Amino acid sequence: MSKILVFGHQNPDTDAIGAAIAFSHLQNQLGKETEAVALGTPNEETQYALDYFKLSAPRVVQSAKEEATQVMLVDHNEFQQSISDIAEVEILAVVDHHRIANFETANPLYYRAEPVGCTSTIILKLYKENQVELPKEIAGIMLSAILSDTLLFKSPTCTSEDEAAAKELATIAGVDLTSYGLDMLKAGTNLSDKSAATLLDLDAKSFPMGEANVRIAQVNTVDLSEVMARQTELEEAMTEEMAKNGYDLFVLVVTNILDSDSELLVAGQGLDKVEEAFQVKLTNNRALLKGVVSRKKQVVPQLTAVFN
């Protein structure tokens, strides 16, 4: 029998990779034969966490059906964010904290979704519910995922459950939560050596909204002006991506992790809807969004509402 593949979404962030590692380990302890894989290489933040806790990055796969008939999904459910042949394999389980959309299965499955800030917060509960011991390095990558998804608890998606889970995991991992979290987040803000196309693909997801296909990318930084100085280059790359992939609208969210604000850069059709969604006026295709840091809670729902 082939292994069950466990993976997060395309352009994986720290939670997509950390949750896959943690959930695969849990399933193996429960008697399943699984392997954590990834739908892309780790970004610098994630690689920092993997290196710190001496974990190997999951191997990158392009197709599931070539080597497995069954898969488990973490940190996503929407098919357009998953592996290319997701409709051709059996989904045994989903553990997620996002909206449910564009998802269906032929067979019953285990589905665990909770409105918390991070998938790894849910997975910690699963370890406890199944009375499985959590190794130090697994606790470390789960902690990293929570700190990343909640921006060190500054994101509006963060709940008291996330904070409690992070503190518990930090104790198991043997790290100081705040100092480690800052070092990890800063490791992901080194953007100067990356091309515009790379920046747009670091953490990007596609969303069907009404009749539109909307691409939303997010980049974390400690200096908004450093990123926006490359506006022309970024807009050219956004236009190219829209033409190549059939996106109607491309939204880049550049988030300052220190100030907890974001600046939008948008291209394509529906700029008026962007203005309506965020109650702003775009100037030179840009707008500052004070207090906005979460794509999941402060960007996607607002855009979805106006497009629908």
Cα four-point dihedral sign 279, 284, 285, 286: negative
Residue 47 shares a structural domain with residue 174: yes
pLDDT at 305: 96
pTM for this prediction = 0.83
Quick one: 91 exposed, middle or buried, by C-beta within 10 A (0-12, 13-18, 19+)? buried
Phi (first) and psi of residue 112, to 5 degrees: -125, 110
What percentage of the chain reaches a pLDDT higher than 90?
93
| Mean local confidence (pLDDT), 181-197 | 90
Tokens of 62: 């392009």
At residue 94, the pLDDT reads 98
pLDDT at 292: 95
The pLDDT, as a whole number, for residue 271 is 95
Q: Is 51 annotated as a binding residue?
A: no
Residue 35 and residue 4 in contact, taking contact as beta carbons nearer than 8 Å: yes
Strand partners, 71: 5, 91
Phi and psi, residue 212, nearest 5°: -100, 150
Residue 1 pLDDT > 80: no
pLDDT of residue 222: 86
Are 100 and 73 spatial neighbours (Cβ–Cβ below 8 Å)?
no
- Asked whether 250 and 266 are in contact (CB, 8 A), the reply is yes
When pLDDT is cut at 50, 70 and 90, the band that residue 191 belongs to is confident
Whether residues 230 and 149 share a domain: the answer is: no
Total domains, the chain: 2
Q: Which of 131, 160, 189 is the last residue of a domain?
A: 189
Does position 78 have pLDDT exceeding 60, yes or no?
yes
* Shared-domain flag, residues 142 and 246: no
Query: Which domain covers residue 180, as residue numbers?
Result: 4-189
Mind giving me the DSSP string for 250-298? EEEEEEETTTTEEEEEEEES-HHHHHHHHT---BTTEEEETT---HHHH
Do 30 and 153 fall into the same domain?
yes
Buried-exposed string 295-305: b where 16+ CB fall within 10 A, e elsewhere: bbbbbbebbbe
My answer on whether 42 and 173 are in the same domain is yes
272 known ligand binder: no
The percent of residues above 70 in pLDDT, for the chain, comes to 100
Residue 132 has pLDDT above 80, yes or no: yes
Helices 136-149, 177-187: inter-axial angle, 10-degree rounding = 70
9 is in an annotated binding site: yes
Cβ neighbours around 167 below 10 Å, total: 12
pLDDT at 306: 96
Mean pLDDT for 223-245 is 95
pLDDT at 184: 95
Q: Decide: 158 and 150 in contact? Cβ < 8 Å.
A: yes
Say yes or no: 183 and 211 in one domain.
no
pLDDT value, residue 252:
98
- What mean pLDDT is predicted for residues 258-284? 95
Q: Which two tokens stand for residue 273?
A: 């809807």
Q: Do 32 and 152 lie in a common domain? A: yes
* Residue 98 assigned ligand-binding role: no
The pLDDT assigned to 7 comes to: 98
97 marked ligand binding residue: yes
Q: Which of 22, 7, 237, 11 is nearest to 143 (CA)?
A: 22
275-300 average pLDDT score = 95
pLDDT grade, residue 62 (50/70/90)?
very high
In terms of domains, do 215 and 88 share one?
no
Per-residue pLDDT band for 2 (boundaries 50, 70, 90) equals confident
Residues 150 and 228 in one domain: no
Count how many residues are written for the chain: 308
Q: Is the model's pLDDT at 193 over the cut of 90?
A: no
Same domain, 201 and 175: no
CATH number at residue 268: 3.10.310.20
Domain with residue 83: its CATH number is 3.90.1640.10
Verify that 29 and 121 share a domain, yes or no.
Answer: yes
Mean pLDDT of 77-102: 96
Which residue among 189, 216, 248 closes a domain?
189
Judge whether 201 is annotated as a binding position.
no
Neighbours of 94 (CB within 10 A): 21
Q: Are residues 272 and 154 in the same domain?
A: no
Among residues 189, 210, 245, which one ends one of the domains?
A: 189
